[in-house]
Chains A and B, each alone.
Chain A
Amino acid sequence: QQPVQSPQAVILREGEDAVINCSSSKALYSVHWYRQKHGEAPVFLMILLKGGEQKGHEKISASFNEKKQQSSLYLTASQLSYSGTYFCGTVTGGGNKLTFGTGTQLKVEL
């Protein structure tokens, strides 16, 4: 079952912040975040393992709330290069089967 992402789309001005949410109906073992630019393959950003950790990658960070079965991706001081579609992927239960959400289209404008 696909995780649910929100919002579906967001437009930012350069320098603004954004939050993308990902929630699952099943208990999560791990959450992956990927970014896909137009016409390109998705690229891995980070993984969060159960334990409620928070991770950072330049000005992009993420949190994982195991109890609420949710993860959030935080983009601060957005840059034009952040534009793209962001996907969360979830692993539920044992194994490594990775299921993605429907994506969040992010556009950063001047």
Chain B
Amino acid sequence: DVKVTQSSRYLVKRTGEKVFLECVQDMDHENMFWYRQDPGLGLRLIYFSYDVKMKEKGDIPEGYSVSREKKERFSLILESASTNQTSMYLCASGRSYGYTFGSGTRLTVV
């Protein structure tokens, strides 16, 4: 079974802090995604990576950056956290025929 692991289930950070969210997969997948989930807005794509060091912006990349130095790890970086980035963050990994999600990180920015 594919395992997609997000490093923290719950995270509380202060406004202005630099925040790192980590996602690790164990199946040598090319494609990895970061989404945020907010009530009524569904799953919104922040960034997508299709290989090491390769990335594409999603629908809401502002305020975020990503890093993929190794195939198994895809990091989401909040350069200067703000309260409107309080959300559930979900990572997904897989090949084009179906993806596995991590269990999510609920980030609260205070």
Q: Are B42 and A97 in contact (CB under 8 A)?
A: no
Contacts of A40 in B (CB 8 A): 103
The CA-CA distance from A46 to B98 in the complex, in Å, is 7
Of A2, A42, A91, A99, the residue contacting B90 (CB under 8 A) is A42
Q: Are A1 and B59 in contact (CB under 8 A)?
A: yes
Does any Cβ of B come within 8 Å of A41's Cβ? yes
Query: By DSSP majority rule, is chain B's interface helix, strand, loop, or mixed?
Result: strand
Q: Are A98 and B101 in contact (CB under 8 A)?
A: no
Q: Are A97 and B99 in contact (CB under 8 A)?
A: no
Contacts of A96 in B (CB 8 A): 30-31, 48, 50, 96
The CA-CA distance from A16 to B35 in the complex, in Å, is 32
Contacts of B92 in A (CB 8 A): 42, 98
Q: Are B56 and A97 in contact (CB under 8 A)?
A: yes
Q: Are A42 and B56 in contact (CB under 8 A)?
A: no
Of A2, A32, A43, A95, the residue contacting B42 (CB under 8 A) is A2
Q: A98-B33, A100-B35, A102-B41 are in contact. Are A47 and B58 (CB under 8 A)?
A: no
Contacts of B56 in A (CB 8 A): 95, 97
Number of interface residues of A (CB under 8 A): 24
Report the minimal beta-carbon distance from B91 to chain A, rounded to whole angstroms. Answer: 9
Q: Are A41 and B103 in contact (CB under 8 A)?
A: yes
The CA-CA distance from A93 to B103 in the complex, in Å, is 29
Q: Are A97 and B98 in contact (CB under 8 A)?
A: no
User: Closest chain B residue to A8 by CB distance?
Assistant: B40
Given contacts A2-B42, A98-B45, 15 further A-B contacts (CB under 8 A): A2-B44, A41-B90, A41-B102, A41-B103, A41-B104, A42-B43, A43-B101, A96-B31, A96-B50, A97-B56, A98-B33, A100-B42, A100-B43, A102-B42, A103-B43
